[in-house]
């Protein structure tokens, strides 16, 4: 266990040293679509080091004499990393950008144009390259084997520790704000309420991973007793070939994106899931969120909050598949470089924690 996180894979923990620094953590955005090459918006492929996305926007706004709201971006990138992301600005600001952007922590790698601005979510995924230290040869080999297996079987899509602030308790402030009934003021309050949403999602996902683990590892009789489920239900669930068990009324979406639909035929839904054609989703509660039905609603309800109406709410994939996993081990330095791709919204640290079986958050 990792706080409220329940791991899906049963192997023993793997030891390695992880630190999120500009030398050891690299991430590059993969755009959702190809840019047109012409239009009213300048598209910048920017490499930044030791700088948050919010700070980058401030720097660009100052250089171009634009408002921050006039600068488009697809997603937030960490400060303590070397990151590559795409930014859009109105074309007429290009001259001022060339003249005034001087910081060494920002490098423009490529320029092109597009008919529209980049907006939040205009992102296919992220490519990561992370260097782990203090890895012995046996663990390096097992790490590679396990990571490749997860590429095939998938992993739970938990929110990473970064979502919950330095003390891991920002969701408590978010819950208080959500229950106040007031309109959210500024990005900080929105982030806090979103952290509360994410906390509820992680708790629900942990419960689903735990019950799936019991069904996979125990007999039908033992599972039914431990879970308090009817014997016939457990028997049906245990026949599903994938680890994460689907229930009637679960909401699945075509993977990696598509419209949500309810599980009515568990065999059909399971077949699509095992072949990576669709994946189950969890609730991010809010005013317009789609809720599960039937048996799945019973499992979801304890982690819902109908008082949270200040955000719209949505569904988030509960299960994802890492791609393009490669590792390179240096025996002399005992370092392991891990390259992989994750869909948007997924956390690299969640993938590493599922392999290592321990929290990567540094103790303060």
The β-bridge relationship of strands 82-90 and 72-73 is antiparallel
CB atoms within 10 A of CB 328: 13
Handedness of CA 119, 123, 126, 127 (dihedral sign): negative
Cα 28 to its chain centre, rounded Å, is 14
Task: Give the residue from 311, 285, 307 showing the smallest Cα distance to 180.
Answer: 307
Task: Give the residue from 360, 317, 361, 357 showing the smallest Cα distance to 208.
Answer: 317
Is residue 78 part of the annotated active site? The answer reads yes
The CA distance from 189 to 257, in Å, is 28
Helices (H), the chain: 53-64, 94-100, 137-153, 170-180, 186-217, 220-227, 231-238, 266-274, 294-300, 348-356
The CA distance from 292 to 361, in Å, is 32
CB-side exposure of 105: number of CA atoms within 13 Å?
15
Cα 228 to its chain centre, rounded Å, is 32
Q: Is 68 helix (H, G, I), strand (E, B) or coil?
A: helix
Cα 237 to its chain centre, rounded Å, is 27
DSSP state of 277: S
CA distances to 164, 216, 245 from 295, in Å? 30, 19, 12
Spot the catalytic one: 50, 78, 304, 305.
78
Task: Give the residue from 161, 246, 252, 167 showing the smallest Cα distance to 199.
Answer: 161
Asked if 72 contacts 36 with a C-beta cutoff of 8 angstroms, the reply is: no
Q: Is 34 helix (H, G, I), strand (E, B) or coil?
A: coil
Catalytic site residues? 78
């Amino acid at each position: 266990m990792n706080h409220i996180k329940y791991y899906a894979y049963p192997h023993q923990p793997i030891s390695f040293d992880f630190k999120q620094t500009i030398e050891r953590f690299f991430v590059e955005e993969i755009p959702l679509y190809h840019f047109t090459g012409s239009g009213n918006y300048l598209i910048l492929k920017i490499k930044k080091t030791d700088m948050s996305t919010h700070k980058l926007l401030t720097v660009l706004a100052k250089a171009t004499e634009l408002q921050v709201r006039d600068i488009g971006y697809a997603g937030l990138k960490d400060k303590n990393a070397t990151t590559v992301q795409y930014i859009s600005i109105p074309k007429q600001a290009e001259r001022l950008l060339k003249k005034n952007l001087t910081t060494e922590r920002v490098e423009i790698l490529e320029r092109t144009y597009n008919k529209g601005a980049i907006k939040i979510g205009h992102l296919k995924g992220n490519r990561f390259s992370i260097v782990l230290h203090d890895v012995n040869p046996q663990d390096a080999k097992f790490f590679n084997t396990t990571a490749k297996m997860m590429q095939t079987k998938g992993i739970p899509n938990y929110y990473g520790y970064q979502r919950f602030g330095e003390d891991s308790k920002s969701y408590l402030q978010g819950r208080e704000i959500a229950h106040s009934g007031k309109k959210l003021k500024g990005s900080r309050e929105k982030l806090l309420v979103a952290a509360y949403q994410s906390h509820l999602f992680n708790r629900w996902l942990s419960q689903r991973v735990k019950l799936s683990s019991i069904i996979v590892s125990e007999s039908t009789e033992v599972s039914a007793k431990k879970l308090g489920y009817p014997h016939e239900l457990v028997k049906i669930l245990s026949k599903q070939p994938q680890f994460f068990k689907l229930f009637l009324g679960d909401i699945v979406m075509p993977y990696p994106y598509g419209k949500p639909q309810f599980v009515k035929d568990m065999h059909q839904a399971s077949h699509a899931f095992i072949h990576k054609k669709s994946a189950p989703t969890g609730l991010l509660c809010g005013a317009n969120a789609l809720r599960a039905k039937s048996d799945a609603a019973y499992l979801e309800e304890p982690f819902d909050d109908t008082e949270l109406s200040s955000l719209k709410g949505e569904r988030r994939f509960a299960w994802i598949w890492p791609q393009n996993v490669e590792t390179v081990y240096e025996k002399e330095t005992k370092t392991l470089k891990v390259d992989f791709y994750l869909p948007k919204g997924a956390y690299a640290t969640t993938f590493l924690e599922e392999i290592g079986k321990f929290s990567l958050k540094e103790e303060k």
